[in-house]
């Protein structure tokens, strides 16, 4: 899910609540969904900054608490992965590795990057499907909360580690798959040596267009699957990637999808903020993902 975004306060936006007439407010993005904090209007920028900082902290604490309380809605995913601890982007991170079915795809891997405030657990269903399809499936906990550029550096380190045999046999070809803010981090890392494909699942971009600018330079084949414009994908903020990517193999929209449909499994926190997931749409996302991976790895090895 996408990184936090703030809008400057202004008067007379939205509806006032009792006791907050003429209220000023800002919106914090959680899963790119706008959570509204209402505060009495103030002419003091310093006072507003203090309120904003408190709101951010409160939201993050709430998100972490809800995630711990609700857990994963769709239950455990098998088979059980091996969990490694690797230094990625200068920080120690846990990485789940699932081996492919015996004798299939032993030198090909797929890295699955989760969204903002999420974890490797929310990509476990996709990872299990990738392993069943015959590829190494690697799902890291991205070590940085906010900056996708730092997480891109972490993904580059993971790519290098896999190519050097961190998961077993040295990996030759890697496809990067990223959901939401993980899609931005994966895109920024998709020109790393050994990467042969990029798959963006309802990806997120920054308002500055850092992803769009990287997309223009990316020669790696790319696949995009996007949901309808909604709060949790920052109203299709990554849509400019479609025109920017010079080697876009396929761009597809998934009608009526919730942002939560693109991770597997999802949980009640995501559904509370971004809308209910649907098993049929989740299956369609996974089918697209696997088709893209097969397409990226279909070319003969160099």
10-residue averages of pLDDT along the chain (302 residues): 40 29 32 36 42 44 43 51 97 96 78 97 97 95 95 98 94 98 98 98 97 98 98 97 98 97 96 96 98 93 72
pLDDT at 22: 30
Exposure of 164 by Cβ count < 10 A (0-12 exposed, 13-18 middle, 19+ buried)? Answer: exposed
Q: Is residue 3 part of a domain?
A: no
Give the chain's mean pLDDT.
Answer: 81
CA-based radius of gyration for the chain = 20
Q: Tally Cβ neighbours within 10 Å of residue 289.
A: 25
Q: What is the CATH number of the domain that holds 91?
A: 3.40.50.1820
- Asked whether residue 74 is domain-assigned, the answer is no
Length of the chain measured in residues: 302
Does 283 reside within a domain?
yes
Q: What share of the chain is helix, strand, coil (3-state, %, to 5)?
A: 35, 25, 40
The single-letter DSSP state of residue 232 is G
Structural domain count, the chain: 1
Judge whether 266 lies within some domain: yes
Secondary structure element (H or E) that encloses residue 52, with its range = helix 45-70
The dihedral sign for the CA sequence 170, 173, 177, 182: positive
Per-residue pLDDT of 10-30, as tens digits, reads 333 333 222 222 323 233 333
- Return the closest-CA partner of residue 225 out of 189, 192, 196, 249: 249
Q: Widest CA span of the chain, in angstroms? A: 67
Residue 101 lies in a domain: yes
Look at residue 47 in the predicted model and tell me its pLDDT. 42
In a domain, 131, yes or no: yes
Q: How far apart are CA 297 and CA 155, in angstroms?
A: 19
Query: pTM score, two decimals?
Result: 0.77
Beta bridge partners of 201: 179, 225
User: Is position 86 within any domain?
Assistant: yes
- Domain annotation covers residue 8: no
241 is in which domain, residue-wise? Answer: 82-296
| Number of Cβ atoms within 10 Å of the Cβ of 233 | 29
């Amino acid at each position: 899910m996408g990184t936090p975004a703030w809008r400057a306060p202004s008067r007379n936006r939205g509806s006032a609540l009792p006791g907050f007439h003429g209220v000023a407010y800002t919106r914090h993005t959680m899963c790119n969904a706008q959570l509204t904090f209402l505060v009495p209007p103030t002419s003091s920028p310093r006072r507003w900054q203090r309120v904003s900082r408190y709101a951010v902290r409160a939201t993050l604490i709430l998100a972490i608490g809800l995630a711990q309380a609700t857990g994963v809605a769709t239950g455990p995913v098998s088979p059980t992965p091996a969990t490694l601890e690797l230094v990625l982007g200068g920080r120690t991170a846990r990485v789940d590795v699932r081996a492919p079915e015996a004798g299939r795809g032993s030198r090909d891997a797929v890295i699955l990057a989760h969204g903002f405030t999420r974890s490797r657990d929310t990509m476990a269903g996709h990872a299990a499907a990738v392993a069943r399809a015959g590829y190494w499936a690697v799902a890291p906990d991205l070590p940085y909360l906010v900056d996708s550029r730092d997480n891109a550096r972490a993904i580059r380190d993971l790519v290098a580690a896999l190519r050097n045999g961190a998961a077993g046999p040295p990996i030759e070809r890697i496809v990067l798959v990223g959901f939401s803010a993980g899609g931005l981090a994966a895109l920024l890392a998709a020109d790393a040596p050994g990467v042969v494909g990029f798959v963006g699942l309802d990806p997120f971009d920054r308002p500055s267009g850092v992803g769009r600018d990287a997309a223009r330079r990316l020669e790696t084949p790319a696949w995009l699957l996007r949901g309808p414009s909604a709060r949790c994908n920052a109203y299709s903020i990554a849509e400019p990637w479609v025109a920017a990517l010079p080697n876009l193999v396929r761009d597809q929209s998934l009608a009526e999808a919730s942002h939560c449909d693109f991770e597997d499994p999802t949980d009640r926190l995501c559904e509370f903020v971004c809308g209910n997931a649907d098993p049929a749409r989740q299956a369609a996302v996974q089918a697209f993902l696997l088709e893209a991976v097969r397409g990226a790895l279909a070319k003969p090895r160099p």
